Structure formats: C-alpha cells, structure tokens
Structure 1
Amino acid sequence: MSRSRAYLRRLRARLGSLRLRLMLGTAVLAVLFMLVLLPVLQGVFNQALEQTVEKRLASDATALISAARIHDGQLRMPEKMPDEEFDNLDSHLLGFIYDRDGQLLWRSRSSEDEAIGYRPRYDGRGHEFARVRDEHGEEFFLYDIEVDLLRGNAAAFSIVTMQPTREYQKLFDGFVWRLKLWLGIALLALLGLLWFGLTWGFRSLRGLSDELDGVEAGTRQHLSDQHPRELLRLTGSLNRLLDSERRQRERYRDSLEDLAHSLKTPLSVLQGLGETLAGQPANRDQAQLMQAQIERMSQQIGYQLQRASLRRSGLVRHREAVWPLLDGLCLSLDKVYRDKRVQVDLQVAEHSQISMERGALMELLGNLLENAYRLCLHRVHVSLEELPDGCRLTIEDDGPGVPADQRARVLRRGERLDAQNPGQGIGLAVVQDIIDSYDGELSLEDSPLGGACFRVRLYD
C-alpha cells in the first residue's frame, strides 16, 4: 500500500509539471500538423509529377502527329520514327493511332509486346490524360488527343501515347520516404526548439521555485519582486500570507504562554489546599479525589497546549537532524531508567534529517522513546530508513508488547494498558496528533525483539 501510494505521488508530481503539460500539448499539435502536412505534400508532388508526365506524353503525341501523312485518304506513317524510342523494342514509350470508330490503325514497334485493351472514345473532348492497365495488371500513363485536321486534310484520329507508371512510382516512393525522413527530423528539431523555448520561458518560474524553497527552509522571509509582471500579484499575495502567518503564530505562541501562566497559579493554589485538607483525617478521601482531579486537569491542559503548539506551519518547511536529538534523549532516559541498564541500538545515519519542526520532532521522539524505555526489559532498537519520498522511523522494544485487539485503544487519548505506572496516557495521543498534522502514518506492530514496534511514516 505504501509503495503504491509513493508511486502515485511521484506520478502526480510528474504529470503536474506545467512545462511537461505544455510540452506534451505542443508535441501532440506538432505531430498532428505533420500528419496533416504529409498527405498534402504527397498530393502536391503527385500532381506536379502527373503534370510533367502529361506534358511529356503530349510532346510525344505531337511528334506522332508531325510524322503522320494522309495519302488517298489513308494514314501513312514513316518506317523510321523521328523519336527513336517509338522504334526501340526495349523502350517504355508506346504509341498508337486509332480511327473515329476506335479501330487500331497503327502502333509503334515499342508496343508490339504489350496487350492493352484500350479503345478511345472520339467524342470531341480534345484530349484526355488517364491511367490504364494491361492484361498483366501493369499500370500505364495514357495521353489521348483527338485530331480533326491533319496537314490541311480532313481526318479523325485518336493519337495515343503511353508510358509505364513504375518508374514514376519509384520516384514517388523515394520522394515519400525522404519526405517522411525530413519531416521526422524537422519534428525532432521543432520539439527540441520548443523544449529550449519552454525552458527559457520557465526560467523565471524556476527562480520563484528556488525562492519558495528558501522560504520553506527558513532562509528567506519574503519573496523578491524580481519576477515577470504576470507573477508579481502572486508573489505579493504570498508575501502577505507569510507575514500574516508569522504574526498569527507569534500571537498564538504568546496566547499559549499567557494561558499556561494564568492556569498555573490557580492550580498550584488548589493543589496546596488539597494537601492541607489531606492532613485532616475527616477530609482525606475528598482531598485525594480533589488532588487526582487537579492532576488530571494539569495533564489535560499540558496535552492541549502541546497539541496546539506543535502544529505544522503552513508555508515554512523545516528539516531537523535526527541523530543529535536521539543521542540527547537516550542519554537523559539512561539516567532516568539507569536501574534497567537499557541497551539501545541506534541505526540512524548521522546526516539523516526529517522534515519537521524541532519542537515537534523532540516531542515525537521523546514520547516514543520514553514509552519504549518504560516498557522494555533490557533492549530498545531505533532505525531510520530513507525513502524516495520521505522516511520511515521504527522504534522497538523487548517488553510485553500490545495485543492486536488493544492497539487502536492505545493510540486514543487517555487510554493506558500499564495502569501500574503514573500518567494520564496522553503521550501517544500527542504523537498521533503530530504525525497527523504532518500527513504521516503511525502503525503499531509486533517487534522481532518480542515487544511493541512503532512505525512512523513521514512524507516530504
């Protein structure tokens, strides 16, 4: 579950990038533009190619017309054509002459091996350019021009010239391949320029992000005004929010101190009065009950003050070194529980840090360690595991542990399983409140040492 949650966090962070979204959007538009441009360019090139072929075949048809003669009303063609391609058997240029009724009157030597079932329609359209296929399925370009007058003599012929399309198809396929290659290169170059442009354009946002990191780390108090005009309203609003939060925290802290001071004196007076009444045998039971209630009030007031003062700040993010705090707390607890001779195993790197305010981290570690020292037999194990999106703190002991059906109860305020030890059972509740304020997770499991295992999962 934690791994899937971490993966979703990273995925949302990546997809949440404005530059990535703009880059993906422009890339999709560029690809769509190239996909639309490709058939357009293919069509333009194909049209230009066919126009060239048509002009070539029209020129060849003109050569046939110039070589034709009319003698006694009959068509006469020279033995040797002016264009040698008509006489070459290996030539791809074919020539045909049909009469008004579509009967073949003459064909060039180059067409003797071809069987093309084409019959022109003498309908006065002038000329026609089309594609036809022979009996073997090979495709040809065809140019058909109608002749009504030949060298001053009345005539009605269809002059047809043909050429296979395969050579031009090879040329067209080569053009399409090169076109796709260059469009692909152009697309990559365009995406590179877009990425460079977006990087340059977002440089101001990166500067703002660096300043926000400084505010979160506590090294800056305000955001500067050295940003584009479109961002100045945002930075101004954030600066006002920072000032408001800072003043509110100061007022909150002062109010808590005043509240603690104002309640301390009345509670001390009541406690003294209870001790006086306890000295009288007749009032001993009532005095003990009053002292227990006063102690409970004091614990509850302390809990509420801790809970209110250890809340996570809104914009400022602190990072605190863990090893010095653990070392100091263990030294203090060793003195308190010196009779147990507790062996503490700290598997924490000296450079490790946790994203938490010092007071909150001290309270969290202090409560968990004090709980482990109090309930253990002789051993306590503390480890800190660095994770890509945070850390996992584990505190274990070799004590009696906590039954599975009682673990939820232990984390509730005021609940205790070890009634033999003093206190009101608010330490773990304070820990839970601190972890909740930092959007973390607290779990209670069985420890390999035999006792309880508290795992704290915190996210950056």
Structure 2
Amino acid sequence: MTAKPSRRGSSLATRLFLSATAWVVVILAITGIALSSVYRGASERAFDRRLNLYLRTIIAEVATPDSSQEAFQSIGEPLFDLPLSGWYWQVVRTDGEKPETRASRSLWDRKLPRLEDQGIELGPSGVRHGYVDGPEGQTLRMVERPVDLGLDGKFIVTVAGDATEIFEETRTFDYYLAGTFLALSIGLVLTTIFQVRFGLAPLKRISESIADVRSGRAERLEGQFPVEIATLARETNALIEANREIVERARTHVGNLAHAIKTPLSVLVNEASARPGDPLAAKVMEQAELMRSQVTHHLERARIAARLTVIGTITEVEPVIEALRRTMEKIHRDRAIQVRAEVAAGLKFRGERQDLEEMVGNLVDNACKWAAGRVFIAVTGEKSDEPGGPPKLRIVVDDDGIGLSAEQRALVARRGKRLDESKPGSGLGLAIVVDLAALYGGELKLDNAPIGGLRAELWLPAA
C-alpha cells in the first residue's frame, strides 16, 4: 500500500514561511524596543541639558552676593512665574540651624522633594537626575546639585520640568516607529512569500514531474532546473532507468526459465503419448500436464510481479473491454452468446494492457462458458474507501447461467479446481485472476448475478 502523507505534517514551504515570519517579527520587535529606548534616552538628555542650563543660571545667582528674589525670578523662562506650571526651581540653604528656602513663584509656597532622599547618587558631573511627583501630580524630570560656597553657605539647588514633554515625544516616536515597522513587516512578509514561492518552485516542478512519471504521462523528468536541483533530477532519472533495466533483465530471466522448464516437460509428454495403453505413461502425462499448468501459473506471476515494478504504466479501459467483447462473441458464436458492455468514459487502469486483458478475459470467457445466452460487462470508476486514497476500477461480469452456491464460489477460486470436467479449461482461470488482482492491490469477489447466474466483481487500481 502507498504511504499517505500525514495530515498533521506541514509542507516545506509553509514551515519556511512560518519560520521566516517568526524571525522577522522577533527581530523587528527587538529592534523597535531598542530604538524606542535609545530615543527616550536621547529625549531625556536633551531635556536634562535644558534643565542644566537653568540650574547653572540659578547657581550663578546664588553665588552672587546680595542677590535679590527678583534676580532669581528673571532667568528667562516665563513658566517659572506661572503657578503650578510644572516648571519649578528651588534653592535650600542647609548649613544654618533652620533651612532657608527660596523657590520659583510657580511652586506657590510648596516644596520639591529631594533626589538625595530617594537614594539617587551624584553623577560624574556632581548632579543628580531623576523623576519625582510634582505638586499637581505631574511627573517631573528633576536635576539637583549641592553647592558649597564656603563662608557664604551650603545650598541644594534644584530645577524641575514637566516630563510630559519627554513622554509625549517618546510616544509620538513609538507611533511612527510602529507604523514604519508594520509597513516594513508587511513588505518583508510579502518578500518572504515571494522568495519561498518562487525559490521552491523547482522542487514543486520535480514533484509534479515525478507524479507524471508515476501516472504514466511521462517516462522521465524533463525540463531545466537550477544548479542546486539539477543533480536531484539527474539522479532521479538515473534511478528510473536503472529500475527499467532491472525489470527487463528479470523478464529475460523469466522467459529463459520458461523455455528451460517447458522443453523437458514437452519431451516427457511426447514420450508418454507414444505409449497410450501404459498406465505409467498415463500417470506421467497427467503429472506432466499438472506441472506444466503450475509452471505456467508461477511464471506468469513472476512476470507480472516484475512488470509491476515499472513506473508509469497506464491502460485505457474502454478499448480493452470492447476488443474482448467482440472476441468472445466470435469464439462462442456457435452458442449465440450475446456479450454486452457498458464502460464509463475516460477510465484508465494503473497497469499494463495485457494484464487487464488476461484478468477480464478469464472472467468473460468463464461467463460465456456457463451463460445460457447473455453476458453483461459493466465498468465504473469508484472512490477509495479510505479518505484521500487512490481511485478504483469496478469491473462487473454477469452471466445468466445456473450460478454457484456459496460453497462452490469458495472452491472455484482455488488453483486447478474445476466443478464440471465437461467444460474446457485447466481450472486455473479464476485463480490467475485472483493472483493478478492481488499483485495490483485489487481483489475478486463472486456473488449471484441479478440476471440469474454468477457475478464476478473485480476491483483494480485506477489512474
């Protein structure tokens, strides 16, 4: 039986596409996260430069003797004067008994938290950077620097700005980045589909070519293939040719064996025929004929088994059935046997013509021998009982003879078994049909025919 591909398995093209798509998604996701992080860092550094500018200005005012509150307020940023604007500065003197605080008007007598209290260490430039919660619940980006003016005192100078600017810029960048990567992903997926589809096209062509060889539409793989695939095509063609050579040698050996065995048997039969009254000669003739039938039968099986290994043999059914119908009517015309045939159009047998002729010919000849006057042949194409299995041929041969009982039907398929010695033949006809059908993966069933006699139902592989 031919092994069927697993339905759970996926094609190479599908696996390559899914693998490539997964890698594209992972790489783009990692790249997107990295770019977003880099851009956020760049936005924070730009924001910190702005805060550091204000910080240096305020420190310069702190270091100036007799600096007034008005001097502190005039640092060039109106947002420091707007109440609760999100932009604040604060100067706290820490060397006195009671801390002295100066702050921007925007704080409205509120105080900023200290980064030092949150455990943030000083950076290389002597400044702390971090995020804190502002007076109105805003998230603030803050810089803080301790200043030691010696006898003039020690101070903590702080400048904070609304971090919403950083978050909005980063969010806008992320939106544009996501849109760009989405378009890039679609482009890469389409490119991957194109590469997989056209990159694996030669393999698909080879698969189709092998199917053509197997079905008999071609004898070898034809066409131009890429360098990477051409070797596979050449080796496949070489395998097909080697298979044909092996089968031809097997046929030759079978023929030689047939001649080698039949010649001594013929000598025995001839010598026994020259002594018609001798009981020993009669026994020799009987056994010699039996040996000849057995040899013929087994050589036929060997010939068919060798021929079945040939790839790509297909036979049109209708011409074979019509030729058999005409031949059987001529052979049995003295009994006026009418042979009628109905064959569905386009049916093909997956095998050689002479094998189909031998199987159907034996059935029709047997039906004509036992028919009262009518023999009917019907050939149809049937689907496989197994899902996805190959199609089958159903060949039915009915006669209007006396028919057979169930016990007799079980006996007649045995090799050399004859129920009526008055009829011509060796008794091997149905046995040969059973064996040949089995070699092709088919079977023979016997039953009662609707027209009164025996029905022989032969199942064979269809193409």
Q: TM-score, normalised by structure 1?
A: 0.73
CA distance in 1, matches of 2:197, 2:225: 24
Shift of 1:256: 2.1
Post-superposition Cα deviations, 1:68-106, rounded to whole Å, max 9, x if no partner, equal: 333758876755663445566897x64353647899853
Gaps of 5+ in 2: 384-388
Is 1:57 paired with 2:47? Answer: yes
State the Cα deviation string for residues 332-354 of structure 1 (Å, max 9, x = none): 222344436335231232x4332
Partner of residue 455 from structure 1, selected from 451, 454, 458: 458
Matched, 1:157 2:153: no
CA contact (8 A) 1:319 1:354 kept: yes
In 2 relative to 1, CA 37–218 (structure 1 residues): closer, same or farther, beyond 3 Å? closer
TM-aligned CA distance change 1:242 to 1:356, over 3 Å? closer
Find the partner of 1:300 among 287, 294, 304.
Answer: 294
The answer to which of 293-302 and 412-421 deviates more is 412-421
- Cα gap change, 1:133 to 1:256, in 2 (>3 Å): farther
Residue 20 of structure 2 aligns with which residue?
A: 30
Kept in 2, the 8 Å contact 1:98–1:120? The answer is no
Does structure 1 residue 106 correspond to structure 2 residue 99? no
Q: 2:354 aligns with which of 332, 355, 359?
A: 359
Residues 390, 210 of structure 1: alpha-carbon distance in 2 compared, 3 angstrom cutoff: same
Q: 3-state SS of the aligned residue for 2:351?
A: coil
Distance across 1 between alignment mates of 2:176 and 2:160: 29
Q: Residues 309-348 of structure 1 correspond to what in structure 2 (within 5 A)?
A: 309-311=303-305, 312-338=307-333, 339=335, 341-348=337-344
| Cα 1:108–1:316 shift into 2, 3 Å | farther
1:193 paired to 2:195: yes
- Please identify, of 399-408 and 297-306, the stretch whose mean Cα deviation from structure 2 is larger: 399-408
Deviation at 1:458, TM superposition (A): 0.9
Distance 2:363 2:113 in 1: 98
Where do 1:34-433 residues align within 5 Å?
Answer: 34-68=24-58, 69-70=61-62, 79=73, 82-84=76-78, 94-97=87-90, 99=92, 106=103, 109=106, 119-121=114-116, 123-125=121-123, 126-130=126-130, 140=139, 142-148=141-147, 154-164=154-164, 165-166=167-168, 168-199=170-201, 202=203, 206=206, 210=209, 217=216, 230-231=231-232, 239-240=241-242, 242-270=244-272, 272-273=273-274, 276-277=276-277, 292-311=286-305, 312-338=307-333, 339=335, 341-349=337-345, 351-376=346-371, 378-385=374-381, 389-397=390-398, 410-415=412-417, 421-433=423-435
- How many residue pairs align between the two structures? 431
Q: Is the 8 A contact 1:319 1:357 kept in 2?
A: yes
Report the residue type matching 1:306 in the other structure: E
Deviation at residue 415 of structure 1 after TM alignment? 4.3
Range moving further from structure 2, 357-366 or 27-36:
27-36
Q: 1:139 to 1:86 in 2, by over 3 A?
A: closer
> Conserved in 2, the CA contact under 8 Å of 1:307 and 1:433?
yes
- Which runs of no fewer than 5 residues in structure 1 stay unpaired? none
8 Å Cα contact 1:211-1:220 kept in structure 2: no
Q: Aligned AA for 2:379?
A: S
Asked if 2 retains the 8 angstrom alpha-carbon contact of 1:129 and 1:142, the reply is yes
SS at 1:381 equivalent: strand
| Separation (CA, whole Å) in 2 of partners of 1:89 and 1:320 | 98
Q: Which residues of 2 match residues 439-454 of structure 1 at below 5 A?
A: 440-444=441-445, 446=447, 449=450, 451-454=454-457
Judged with a 3 Å threshold, the aligned counterparts in structure 2 of structure 1 residues 46 and 425 are, in CA distance, closer, same or farther, namely same
* Cα 1:300–1:77 shift into 2, 3 Å: farther
TM-score (norm 2): 0.73
Q: Residue 143 of structure 1: CA displacement?
A: 3.9
Please give the alpha-carbon distance, in whole angstroms, between the structure 1 residues aligned to 2:399 and 2:102.
Answer: 113
Relative to structure 1, is the Cα distance of residues 322 and 235 closer, same or farther in structure 2, using a 3 angstrom cutoff? closer
Question: Tell me, what secondary structure is at the counterpart of 1:182?
Answer: helix
- Whichever residue aligns with residue 163 of structure 1, its letter is A
What is the distance in 2 between the residues matched to 1:404 and 1:72? 129
- Is 2:379–2:396's contact at 8 Å kept on the other side of the alignment? yes
* 1:192 shift after superposition: 1.2
The 1:197–1:118 alpha-carbon spacing in structure 2 relative to 1, beyond 3 Å, is farther
